[in-house]
């Protein structure tokens, strides 16, 4: 497993528009928290959004998580793709309905346009369904490609309008993530029962 030279803070976007979206996102957060080499440090609220893309699809449920990790960006992306497959997403379903979508949005201050994953996520600043939950957990975070804060990018997209996105208050969200790796394994085992 490839590790970064130091612990890095990263932000991931989660989305789902098939099946029990809320349960899927809850389970995905718990699975992330149980992963060796990751510690979930913050979880946004839940946001419902209109599908953005060609054709018609059911609305998405979205959230963002902040993690601390030693995993290098390609390894973190690989972990996200493996979790998507575990939840039933099949290859070549870009812009198709999916039970789980996981994206690496930001990885520290890294800006890379010539390696996988592209960082920050190439469409981050144009998507309200990512910016709204991200602004809940990292409002002052500076986007390394534009120098704008997440809050500023979110305010800009609100002014421009576009597809709808709405906050969904949920007293049972976010899921409690464990503070230690041992607690994480216990929480995951309880979740899987």
The per-residue pLDDT for range 88-121, each reduced to its tens digit, is: 987 776 666 889 999 999 999 999 999 999 999 9
pLDDT of residue 177: 87
In a domain, 138, yes or no: yes
In a domain, 170, yes or no: yes
Structural domains in the chain (count): 1
The DSSP code sequence of 81-108 is HHHHHHTTPPSS-TTS--S-EEEEEEET
- Which range of residues forms the domain containing residue 90? 3-182
pLDDT tens-digit profile of 125-164? Answer: 999 999 999 999 999 999 999 999 999 999 999 999 888 9
In a domain, 189, yes or no: no
In a domain, 193, yes or no: no
Give the domain CATH number at 13.
3.30.70.560
User: Does the model's pTM come out above 0.95?
Assistant: no
What's the average model confidence in pLDDT over 32-43? Answer: 95
pLDDT for residue 191 is more than 70: no
Show which residues are catalytic.
Answer: 89, 98, 101, 103
């Amino acid at each position: 497993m490839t590790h970064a030279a130091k612990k890095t803070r990263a932000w991931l976007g989660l989305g789902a528009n098939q099946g029990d979206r809320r349960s899927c996102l809850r389970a995905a957060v718990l699975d992330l928290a149980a992963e060796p080499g990751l510690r979930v440090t913050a979880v946004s609220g839940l946001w419902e959004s209109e599908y953005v893309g060609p054709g018609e699809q059911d609305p998405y449920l979205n959230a963002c998580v902040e993690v601390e990790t030693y995993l290098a960006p390609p390894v973190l992306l690989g972990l996200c793709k493996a979790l998507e497959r575990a939840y039933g997403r099949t290859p070549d379903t870009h812009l198709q309905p999916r039970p789980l979508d996981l994206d690496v949005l930001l990885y520290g201050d890294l800006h890379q346009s010539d390696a996988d994953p592209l960082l920050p996520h190439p469409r981050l600043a144009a998507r309200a369904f990512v910016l709204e939950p991200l602004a809940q957990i990292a409002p002052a975070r500076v986007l390394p490609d534009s120098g704008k804060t997440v809050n500023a990018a979110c305010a800009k997209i609100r002014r421009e309008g576009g597809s709808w996105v709405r906050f969904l208050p949920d007293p049972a969200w976010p899921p409690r993530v464990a503070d230690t790796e041992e607690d994480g394994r216990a929480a995951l085992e309880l979740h899987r029962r």
